[in-house]
Chain A
């Protein structure tokens, strides 16, 4: 090689490669420039690379030079274009790309772009000189921006992005309420769906849709799968057609029609390996043979991406008023608003008494009957909406605190830059030019923080989705999409502008010649200290709001965890066993009995049972009206309601539900059907004045009367924060319908670790019921914590935010007090020289910090009092203004603040007077 530098062959090859790469970068320059200097640039680069030490050195030089070329080339191109445009007008004016005042006359986009680039380059250089400063700023901002981007990604996917159907905002659902029946959400019955199909003009294609589970046989292996039961109109409502095959037709829901099924894309892939010949195949769903007639497109699902199969279902030929619980969705008719639909649907209610003469107007009155039309999106999102917005608001606070910290760093740095700025101003740089250079730097840092923060957010979001945290609706849709990235970019630039603008007034003031003379402790110092102190007080205030909010959530959570659930969750294993639809109820009961017997006989098992109504497991217990033999109801009176479910002997003992009166569930109840029932305390209290044993109840009119033989303790079956509902427990052998025997949960109390027994328990189940799909095994403690997952997500995020706020606030306070103190070193030294004791000096500095903290705490208390009521819907057993929480938050903050002030105070009191006086 002509470089002639003696190097190893490997190095020489690297140099040659680097030269080739650099040559490519040189080609980025305009032709004119290349013709004049291209060869020299490449030749210089070859020498630079040849002189570099080792491969790493060559790569370093190459990186440096390529970046530099990439940096300059666009400017040269803009310049070349401008020169070409100017040819013929004036070609003589000396107009270097930098330099004298002549260039300021230039205007236009190209000029602005060149100026912007120049400022950016200046900013990069000036930051590169202080990597520590840049690092601290970028890290702080990355934390704040990352948190915001991550939470925004969740908010965007869950709350902002429309549901994945065309014009999804026009999909509505109709719900009925009858608080008089102590059942809050009634959804629809066949009767109400008939009403809307026949008479409603504001809603079209009233479809019914219901999620359920079935045993699927005929796929790659038997499995319990999520199934959507939908009517043919469903496809019109979601405006989605099968990708293969056909949709459901009216014939499919006619009585006696052959059973058909449509696979979701996920079901097709997972259970049929994506086989295109799947159409026409027959599968068994809960023992019913059905032909596969279609496959839905990828990405389609209703509420749960795990839905595998769609089956047709519609209202019967003679719809009845009763049997609520069917979700109905529909589309708003063209040109109709949600309010139009609400008005019309409400006006249709009296027709129910015409369609169903057995329902009297008095019934509707007593039931406090009402109807509502809601957007499907609002139902899907449910009650996490408030929590998510609060969490987003919280992390926004964190970003504000981070910006305040950075602004303070900038203020301090601005002090150092005063002379530079003054010199530039004296040399003719305009105010806007100076402002642009400061803002270029702050925006650059903001964007750098944004990039790092977005990377953090991407990792965080992936972890959040993987952990299935919070059981958030639409969690599987969460990711960093275009909207989120746009948000990240906007937040980064705004943050950069915000903290960059703050030191501007002081800096531009420095533009006057006075600042040249101003030296270190000048006239504006007091005002700037005030800005700094205000910033810190603001941070303290924000941190107090976050601490208070997080404290309230934490205490709610504690209260919730200390709620007596009515059972003892420790060392209990639960495992769902799905027998599918029970044709022979005696046989099903026998199967469960044999499983329970087998498990109870295992070593290490204290008690074992099974239940269709596991506490806190949504969808376990069912609801029904019932009557009491000794207290007949008047015909037009409201029916009584209760929840009910089957249990085997051993279940109450296994989960620790106490027997309060009467007898236990005994072995004979698992063997022989007897007309008996157990009720919970709430049932006995509400319906039988507490004295239930010996009374007889009946769930369905054609069922036998059941004698209440025992009363057991109340269980918070529907959430630790939900009220206890009346409950009837029936023996597994009961002849009553719908007790949930198709899916019962095995409950096993163990002596040691419950999960250690799982293999043995599984073996027992597989021996007795080899084909029965099992659900995930969990300890009862896991069931309890999962019921709190949504809440714990909010608690954890708020807690983290408060923690970060506390740390940032403390760092900010420490920095500012330390800085102000260091500026007073001379004065402090003088005081000490004049006889001030260290304690007095410490007190002086501490007083300064305390004043800032006090102002911050005051403002924070006021803000917290104003804001914590927003949390009300998330709190449990505690008021938003809980004085203890407020006091504790303020105390924690004050303590941390004091510590942050004490360190500089101690340093100040140790000042050597002579040293201090020498400082100028």
Chain B
């Protein structure tokens, strides 16, 4: 386990919506609707971020300093704000992924024990 520095631990476990948004931004900056499309594609439609949830979470993530607003995408509609991961956001995302990995490992171990 790592990531005890700069309060990363305080954010774990991440709310699913947060996790998916951070993950969507891991590939690069996106605007809100693009985050939605990316999450929906990545989860094969199982997770759909409706506008109020999406922007509520974006606001929370920005307040928590995990994402920040970037310059507008020149090819896109100029009104749209672009969001991107901060350093803290990247660390939290990594910590969450590691935590989940640990859980999955624990669950596997449990099943192996049980099968005996």
- Chain A residues packing against B (C-beta within 8 Å): 29, 33, 36-37, 39-41, 43-45, 47-48, 64-65, 68-69, 71-73, 76, 94-102, 423, 427-428, 516-517, 519, 920
Contact = CB atoms under 8 A, between A and B. Distances in A.
Given A40-B81, A44-B32, A427-B13, A71 B52 contact: yes
Contacts of A99: 11, 14-15, 18, 60, 64
B51 A94 contact: no
A65 B55 contact: no
B5 to A, nearest CB: 15
A428 B13 CA distance: 9
A101 B8 CA distance: 12
Contact of A64 (B50, B59, B77): B50
Contacts of B7: 94
B110 A44 contact: no
Given A94-B64, A99-B64, A68 B59 contact: no
B111 interface: yes
B93 to A, nearest CB: 14
Interface string B38-68: 0000000000001111111011110111000
Contacts of A101: 10
A517 B110 contact: yes
B113 A920 contact: no
Contacts of B103: 423
A45 B13 CA distance: 30
B115 interface: yes
Interface of B: 7, 9-15, 18, 31-33, 36, 50-56, 58-61, 63-65, 77, 79-81, 103, 106-107, 110-111, 113-115
Nearest to A419: B107
A24 to B, nearest CB: 14
A29 B53 CA distance: 12
15 contacts: A33-B59, A36-B55, A37-B59, A40-B33, A44-B36, A45-B51, A72-B52, A95-B63, A96-B64, A99-B14, A99-B60, A100-B12, A102-B10, A427-B12, A519-B111
A96 B58 CA distance: 10
Contact of A96 (B32, B52, B60): B60
A96 B61 contact: yes
Nearest to B103: A423
A679 to B, nearest CB: 86
B78 to A, nearest CB: 12
Contacts of B14: 99
Given A68-B51, A99-B11, 16 more contacts: A36-B59, A37-B58, A39-B79, A40-B51, A41-B55, A43-B77, A48-B51, A71-B52, A72-B53, A73-B52, A96-B63, A96-B64, A99-B60, A100-B11, A428-B13, A519-B114
B56 A97 contact: yes
Contacts of B13: 427-428
Contacts of A76: 56
Given A68-B53, A69-B52, A519-B110, A43 B33 contact: yes
Report whether over half of chain B's contact residues are helix, strand or loop; otherwise say mixed. Answer: helix
Contacts of B9: 100
Nearest to B50: A68
A427 B113 CA distance: 22
For the complex of A and B, 3 pairs with smallest distance between CB atoms: A37-B55, A96-B60, A72-B52
A72 B57 CA distance: 11
A102 B31 CA distance: 29
A96 B55 CA distance: 13
> In this complex, which of B52, B79, B107, B113 has the most chain A Cβ atoms within 10 angstroms of its Cβ?
B52
A97 B14 CA distance: 12
Contact of B60 (A64, A97, A517): A97
A427 B33 CA distance: 31
Nearest to A39: B79
Nearest to B17: A98
B51 A65 contact: yes
A98 B111 contact: no
Contact of B54 (A39, A44, A95, A920): A44
Contacts of A45: 51
Nearest to A33: B59
Nearest to A517: B110
B79 A517 contact: no
Contacts of A427: 12-13
A517 B10 contact: no
B33 A44 contact: yes
A43 B115 contact: no
B51 A69 contact: yes
A423 B110 CA distance: 13
A94 B10 CA distance: 9
A96 B61 CA distance: 7
Contact of A94 (B53, B63, B77): B63
B32 to A, nearest CB: 5
A67 B65 CA distance: 29
B52 A41 contact: yes
A675 B63 CA distance: 107
A40 B55 contact: yes
Contacts of A95: 63
A48 B36 CA distance: 10
A215 to B, nearest CB: 71
A395 B32 CA distance: 53
A41 B64 CA distance: 21
Contacts of B79: 39-40, 43
B81 A920 contact: no
